């Protein structure tokens, strides 16, 4: 419906995009439903959605627009929900485009999420209400054309206003942008001019001079902090194939060192950290990983150090890596500590600050494209210096090292993966690339020129002209010269030195004396020696140098030059006359010729004597030095040979190590701040919680505690560091120390109840081991939760249960009374009237006994005594014997046994041993083992009863219901009763499984004097 809705509000033609359709002016193109649209070559491309990532249709289109249109792309984010478009804005900014977002001046967007998320990226150039956007777009287009025309007219030469901008930024911020690409720099400046409504570059320069804050605003716009996780997925795949070489030959005590330049918000650094962590996990003895991630944008570094990213930024992270290396925090994701600890983020300028050293991998992707050719030429050798032999350089797809093919070889040309070559001689180091402080050498972009008095505004131009003139005169008319160091190695050549120097035989070297031509070598060595010893200028007149079959008379001058503590030697060769050649075809020389020859020979003889004298002096001096140092040289020769190379390397690395120390110090400072915040959070948590907690070490020394502990232990803040055993406790827990040591030694958790103040306060005490990050036990954590209310509720519940049982008994009594009254008034059902009341009464008695024992453990003896009470006490006392162990029944078994005893007592009272004075009753019970299981056996033995006669020995008693007994026993206990009538009396044997019906004596609870409280005893009677 979008096309229909838009067409109501515009006269332009609204078109639903089709595959391959060209984009024309004054037309509006709408994406079809359920599709993904991109642009390439000015044509739209449409395809169906095929993956979950295709839901971010705005980001996908903006990324293709940025690649296709570059600096001409304009992105406007209007009202909408979600964060789609935030990633696309980064792509637009990366390629130099313009970005707008709908903002508020009283007319807010109806749906604020999309414009708000876009503005939150910090990459939106202008936040405006919709009605102000057309005017700004037209101004932008007009200025774009004007800028292009000026750029063409200037012939790529920077204007004075642009040079002033460079100077102001370098002075106020300490960063030099003069060697960034002019066009890129101008585009970023134009963005600020658009925001400030400034029409010309000169006006903006004046604004920058007057407004001290504008330099910072321009600085943020100049920093192109655009990156994402696993940028160019195929490039990372190509890099991963070469990562194993970084781990080869390294042990667990060594490091794989990585430098990520221009890391922005850290996505590139974390991506490399994840890849390297995976390779390390697959290596048996993996080295440690250390990643230095640097940038000059402190705001971006703050985001990188936090390591928290919105879900939309992680769209390119594979699901497996997202699950392993991130964890969710609300709507965002945080990098896990394992990966965060591998990365050190620090402010560092690739142009201004010394590089890192001894690196295995350098990632510098899409940074060189913003630097001019001169600066790129200096950066690539700097990377060569920083890498170890065989190290890897990882560049962006638009970058290359083609001008330094002697320093790097390509491992993967397409994805710009290069290997450092190990050279015989080290290339000249280009750092530091900015000028040193006053009085020091300058190594920025050539020699320093000093202004000529009265030059005024034309000073810099006149200096450039004079420099060009001086260079021309020197090249065409000046003498040849070289500059050497104290070791006699050439550090600089002028033109036309081939007449005096030639390459020596063997490997390439820069030794000046070995390169000197015949006739010059001895005098050159002597002059260098004398200049080093005396520190003064040494000159030799009329030296004859053999050149191409002839000889050239020259004047040799060696002059020491000192600057900032370093001494170099300028060696100047000045020709005297022309080259003379010997002509063998000439006639015999005349007298004048002979005189000239004699004079020439005398001069040469004099020179030879001088040389000899110099040589003798040098020899004598050298002999004395050699005699005194010969023994020392012999003893330290081998050490010097092995240490020489290390000293040379260390001298150059000291500055880099200092920079690394500053980086580490900055990281430590950040971690200290994070630790302080964490400590404050923990302190507030401890003070607010109502759970008493004590942290102890392995020696039971108090490490920390919460304020709530004061109700249990008399602790004050100064007690930290004291043993817990020295502190007075209100707990009724004598085994606390033993329990804590058990937890520390075994690593188990102990949880039990504890009381204080004489049992008035109840706690749930939980002791757990205190484990470190490497899963080692370093103490214990003891917590006390007040459960006094819960304990009181339990006691109250027991009272309620007891009351309920009492009421049940009353109900049963009422039933008995009603049945009795009914039977009195009834003339029928004689059998029922005789049996029912007794049985109901017996059931009530049994329930009462079980209730008194809290329905947990009922002694058999108590059941017997309850039924036999009329026959074992008082005047009606009978001959009754009870014999058996301390056996207690569970509730269901007690009810069944009680019913059986009642039936047996009724029978004995009517026709058995309890019905005659001479009868006797013996009841025995015991728990014994059979072939199959442990059984409880109860024997009921009667003698001399009324019904026991010889004639009726085996006849069953009509008053005894064995079926009723067996029915309940089998159903509730799994047992059985058997009866027999003998000549001497009646017998009943009851057998039931002991395991399910009895309670072992060692765990049997026994009621104490206080109601509702249970005690555990091994044996005992009620």
DSSP string, 262-304: S-TTSHHHHHHHHHHHHHHHTSTTPPEEEEEEEES-HHHHHHH
| SS3 per-residue string spanning 768-785 | EEEECCCCCEEEEEEEEE
Give the DSSP H/E element, type plus range, for residue 515: helix 512-515
**Beta carbons within 8 Å of 1008's beta carbon, 6+ residues apart:** 1014, 1015
DSSP code per residue over 117-137: HHHHTT--SEEE-GGGHHHHH
**Alpha carbons 692 and 786: distance in angstroms, whole number:** 9
Q: CA separation (Å) from 134 to 62, 73, 651?
A: 20, 15, 60
In Å, how far are 410, 751, 788, 1012 from 794, measured between CA atoms?
Answer: 79, 19, 10, 10
Q: Structure tokens of 941? A: 């033995």
The tokens describing 764, both together, are: 């749930």
Tell which residue, 39, 128, 112, 38, has the closest CA to residue 80.
Answer: 112
Separation of alpha carbons 36 and 711, rounded Å: 66
Q: For strands 920-929 and 879-884, give the pairing.
A: parallel
188 as an active site residue: the answer is yes
* Best CA proximity match to 997, nearest among 906, 888, 916, 922: 888
Residue 295 is among the residues annotated as catalytic for this protein: yes
Residues 6+ apart with CB under 8 A from 456: none
Tell which phi-psi region holds residue 249, choosing left (phi > 0), alpha (psi between -120 and 50) or beta: left
Q: At what angle do helices 113-120 and 86-94 cross, to 10 degrees?
A: 40
Cβ distance 515 to 501 under 8 Å? Answer: yes
Task: Say which of 176, 221, 295, 523 is annotated catalytic.
Answer: 295
- At residue 864, the 3 state secondary structure works out as helix
By the 8 A CB rule, do 809 and 787 touch? no
Q: Which of 188, 191, 321, 845 is catalytic?
A: 188
From CA 19, how far away is CA 385, in angstroms rounded? 50
What DSSP assignment string belongs to 374-415? HHHHHHHHHHHHHEEEEEEEEE-TT---GGGTTTEEEEETTT
Question: In terms of residues, how long is the chain?
Answer: 1022
* Active-site amino acid positions: 188, 295
């Amino acid at each position: 419906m979008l096309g229909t809705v838009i067409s109501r509000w515009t006269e332009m033609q609204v078109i639903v995009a089709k595959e391959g359709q060209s984009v024309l002016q004054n037309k509006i193109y709408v994406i079809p439903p359920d599709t993904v649209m991109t642009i390439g070559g000015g044509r739209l491309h449409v395809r169906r959605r095929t993956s979950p990532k295709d839901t971010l249709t705005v980001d996908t289109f903006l990324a293709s627009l940025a690649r296709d249109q570059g600096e001409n792309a304009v992105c406007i984010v209007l009202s909408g929900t979600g964060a789609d478009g935030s990633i696309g804005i980064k792509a637009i900014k990366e390629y130099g485009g313009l970005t707008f977002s709908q903002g508020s001046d009283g007319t807010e967007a109806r749906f604020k999420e999309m414009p708000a998320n876009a503005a939150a990226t910090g990459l939106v150039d202008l936040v405006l209400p919709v009605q102000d956007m057309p005017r700004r777009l037209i101004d932008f287009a007009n200025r774009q054309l004007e800028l292009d025309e000026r750029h063409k007219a200037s012939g790529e030469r920077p204007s004075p206003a642009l040079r002033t901008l460079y100077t102001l930024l370098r002075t106020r911020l300490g960063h030099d942008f003069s060697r960034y690409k002019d066009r890129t720099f101008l585009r970023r400046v134009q963005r600020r001019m658009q925001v400030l409504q400034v029409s010309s570059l000169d006006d903006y320069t004046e604004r920058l001079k007057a407004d001290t804050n504008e330099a910072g605003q321009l600085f943020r716009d100049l920093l192109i902090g655009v990156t994402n996780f696993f940028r160019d997925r195929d490039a990372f795949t190509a890099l991963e194939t070469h990562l194993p070489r970084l781990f080869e030959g390294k042990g667990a005590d060594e490091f794989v060192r990585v430098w990520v330049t221009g890391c922005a918000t850290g996505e590139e650094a974390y991506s490399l950290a994840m890849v390297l962590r995976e390779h390390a996990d697959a290596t048996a003895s993996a080295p440690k990983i250390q990643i230095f991630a640097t940038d000059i944008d402190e705001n971006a570094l703050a985001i990188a150090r936090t390591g928290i990213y919105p879900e939309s930024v992680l769209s390119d992270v594979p699901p497996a890596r997202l699950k392993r290396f991130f964890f969710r925090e609300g709507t965002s994701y945080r990098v896990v500590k394992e990966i965060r600890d591998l990365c050190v983020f620090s402010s560092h300028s690739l142009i201004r600050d010394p590089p890192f050293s001894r690196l295995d991998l350098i990632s510098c992707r899409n940074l060189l494209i913003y630097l001019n050719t001169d600066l790129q030429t200096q950066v690539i050798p700097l990377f060569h210096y920083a890498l170890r032999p065989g190290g890897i350089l990882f560049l962006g797809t638009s970058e290359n090292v083609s001008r330094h093919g002697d320093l790097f070889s390509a491992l993967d040309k397409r994805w710009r993966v290069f290997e450092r070559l190990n050279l015989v001689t080290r290339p000249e180091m280009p750092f530091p690339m900015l000028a040193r402080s006053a009085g020091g050498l300058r190594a920025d972009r050539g020699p320093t020129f000093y202004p000529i008095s009265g030059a005024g505004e034309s000073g810099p131009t006149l200096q450039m002209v004079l420099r060009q003139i001086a260079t021309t005169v020197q090249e065409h008319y000046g003498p040849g010269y070289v500059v050497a160091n104290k070791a006699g190695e050439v550090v600089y050549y002028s033109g036309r030195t081939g007449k005096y120097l030639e390459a020596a035989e063997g490997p390439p070297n820069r030794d000046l004396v070995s390169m000197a031509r015949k006739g010059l070598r001895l005098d050159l060595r002597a002059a260098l020696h004398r200049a080093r010893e005396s520190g003064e200028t040494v000159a030799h007149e009329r030296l004859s140098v053999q050149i191409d079959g002839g000889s050239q008379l020259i004047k040799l001058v060696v002059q020491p030059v000192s600057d900032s503590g370093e001494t170099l030697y300028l060696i100047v060769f000045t020709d005297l006359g022309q080259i003379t050649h010997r002509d063998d075809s000439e006639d015999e020389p005349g007298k004048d010729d002979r005189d000239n020859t004699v004079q020439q020979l005398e001069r040469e003889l004099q020179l030879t004597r001088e040389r000899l004298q110099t040589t003798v002096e040098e020899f004598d001096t050298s002999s004395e030095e050699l005699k005194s140092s010969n023994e020392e040289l012999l003893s330290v020769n081998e050490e010097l040979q092995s240490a020489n190379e290390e000293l040379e390397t260390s001298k150059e690395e000291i500055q880099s190590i200092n920079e690394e120390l500053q980086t580490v110090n900055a990281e430590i400072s950040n971690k200290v701040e994070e630790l302080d915040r964490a400590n404050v959070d923990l302190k507030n948590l401890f003070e607010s919680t109502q759970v008493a907690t004590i942290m102890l070490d392995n020696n039971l020394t108090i490490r920390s505690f919460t304020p709530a502990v004061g109700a249990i232990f008399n602790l004050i803040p100064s007690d930290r560091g004291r043993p817990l055993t020295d502190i007075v406790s209100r707990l009724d827990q004598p085994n606390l120390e033993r329990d804590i040591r058990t937890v520390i030694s075994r690593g188990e958790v102990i949880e039990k109840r504890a009381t204080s103040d004489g049992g008035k306060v109840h706690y749930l005490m939980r002791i757990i081991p205190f484990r470190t990050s490497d899963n080692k036990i370093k103490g214990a954590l003891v917590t006390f939760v007040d459960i006094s209310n819960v304990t009181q509720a339990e006691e109250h519940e027991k009272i309620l249960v007891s009351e309920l049982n009492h009421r049940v008994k009353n109900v049963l009594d009422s039933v008995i009374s009603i049945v009795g009254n009914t039977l009195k008034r009834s003339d029928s059902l004689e059998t029922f009237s005789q049996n029912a009341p007794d049985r109901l009464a017996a059931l009530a008695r049994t329930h009462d006994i079980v209730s008194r024992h809290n329905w947990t453990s009922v002694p058999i003896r108590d059941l017997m005594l309850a039924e036999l009470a009329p026959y074992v006490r008082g005047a009606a006392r009978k001959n009754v014997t009870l014999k058996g162990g301390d056996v207690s029944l569970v509730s269901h078994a007690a009810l069944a046994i009680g019913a059986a005893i009642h039936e047996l007592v009724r029978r004995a009272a009517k026709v058995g041993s309890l019905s005659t004075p001479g009868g006797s009753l013996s009841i025995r019970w015991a728990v014994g083992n059979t072939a199959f299981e442990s059984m409880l056996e109860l024997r009921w033995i009667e003698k001399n009863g009324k019904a026991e006669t010889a004639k009726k020995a085996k006849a069953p008693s009509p008053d005894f219901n064995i079926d009723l007994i067996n029915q309940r026993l089998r159903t509730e206990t799994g047992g059985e009763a058997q009866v027999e009538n003998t000549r001497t009396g009646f017998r009943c044997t009851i057998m039931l499984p002991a395991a399910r019906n009895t309670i072992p004596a060692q765990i049997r609870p026994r009621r104490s004097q206080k109601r509702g409280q249970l005690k555990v005893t091994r044996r005992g009677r009620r």
